[in-house]
Structure 1
Amino acid sequence: MSSKMTFRVIANRVDAHGSTVNCKDASLVIDTDLQGRADAFNPAELLMGALAACIIKGIERVTPILKFDLEGLEVEIHGVRQDTPPKMESIQYSIRVKTEESDHRLALLHDNVRKFGTVFNTIAPGTELTGTLVRA
């Protein structure tokens, strides 16, 4: 029997312009202002940031197992929000990997991202989630 991981964050409203979210020893200012603000992630951007972090962490987890030579990595996420009902209609990602590994090994890395990412697999069933993994 495997034990389940649990996670906990606490968010607090600061004022009408923003809030904070805290986890472990980390804190983020988040955009909860109805007019929006440029210096903080709004909820949709937090979701996309979580997806990017999930992709990067998944790659970090699997590269030692695959003995994959990773020199650099960039993930870009684009999302489209629909109004009714409000939801992320589609999310596209582009993973650019700096490596000398073969195209076959890049495809294997991408398969691992799609199969084993917690946030990836949470988002995928409810959103059109598509993307590429290419050599940088």
Structure 2
Amino acid sequence: MDYQIKASSMAHDDATIHIKESNIDFGTTPKTADSLPNPAELFLGSFAACMLKNVERFSTMMRFSYTKTTLEVKATRLENPPRMDNIEYSLTIYSDDDKLNTALLKKNIEKFGTIYNTVKLSCSISGTIKTVPNV
């Protein structure tokens, strides 16, 4: 599979990523540092998107049901050279399904996640998956 995106920016202004029919604005200037995602946050967003896509994918393959998921991702940035050093995540799945095997789901996400495996080559990743009964 091959992927392609486009991005654009104007001098002294913020930027936009163009993906299919979506436009994602992101900050490149100090004036939007508190309101738009920065490149590091978009990177973590891509990591999160990979995990959540795989929850959906494996819910079909592993035959479990859920109503929603929440995911918190934190990272440590090192200065020299600038890079992400450690990513920690906490995935919560809202489900009453006894067939949901979180250990197997975690193993599958770690084995088959494209972004997960790409990131794993350059920094450590640790995390937890827990279930919460549907409310």
Counterpart-to-counterpart distance in 1, 2:99 and 2:62 = 14
Deviation at 1:72, TM superposition (A): 1.7
Correspondence for 1:78: 74
2:87–2:126 CA contact under 8 A, matched in 1: yes
Counterpart-to-counterpart distance in 2, 1:47 and 1:83 = 17
Moved more, 33-42 or 75-84: 33-42
- Is 2:105 aligned against 1:114? no
1:75–1:94 CA contact under 8 A, matched in 2: yes
Match of 1:127 among 123, 127, 134: 123
1:59–1:109 CA contact under 8 A, matched in 2: yes
Secondary structure at the residue paired with 1:41? coil
Please show how residues 1-136 of structure 1 align to structure 2 within 5 Å. 5-34=1-30, 37-102=33-98, 105-136=101-132
Residue 59 of structure 1 aligns with an amino acid whose one-letter code is: V
Deviation at 1:101, TM superposition (A): 3.7
2:64–2:100 CA contact under 8 A, matched in 1: no
Secondary structure at the residue paired with 1:126? coil
Deviation at 1:103, TM superposition (A): 8.8
Number of equivalences? 132
Deviation at 1:66, TM superposition (A): 0.8
Identity %: 29
What is the TM-score normalised by the length of structure 1?
A: 0.89
Residue 44 of structure 1 aligns with an amino acid whose one-letter code is: A
RMSD, matched Cα: 1.7
What is the TM-score normalised by the length of structure 2?
A: 0.90
Counterpart-to-counterpart distance in 1, 2:32 and 2:123 = 24
Relative to 1, partners in 2 of residues 1:82 and 1:36: Cα closer, same or farther, differing over 3 Å?
Answer: farther
Secondary structure at the residue paired with 2:7? strand
2:5–2:19 CA contact under 8 A, matched in 1: yes
Moved more, 82-91 or 63-72: 63-72
Deviation at 1:33, TM superposition (A): 1.6
Residue 76 of structure 1 aligns with an amino acid whose one-letter code is: E
